[in-house]
Structure 1
Amino acid sequence: SSQGTHFEVEKHFCPLPTDMSGHRAVALMPLGMASLQLLLKAVATDPSSPAFGPCSGQWKNCSKSRCCSDGNFQCFEKNSVFAQCRPFCYVGVHYDEPPQYQSYWTCSIKSPLGLETSSQVSHS
Structure 2
Amino acid sequence: MAKRYERIGDVRGAGLYVGVELVKDRKTKEPDATAALAVVNGPRARRVLISATGAAANTLKIRPPLVFSEANVDRLLSETEAVLAALKIDVLGTPMAVDHPCRLPRRVTPVLRRQPQTA
TM category (shorter chain) comes to: under 0.3
Higher fraction of strand: 2
Larger Rg: 1
TM-score in terms of structure 1 length: 0.24
Say which structure, 1 or 2, has more relative contact order (CA 8 Å, 6+ apart): 2
TM-score in terms of structure 2 length: 0.25
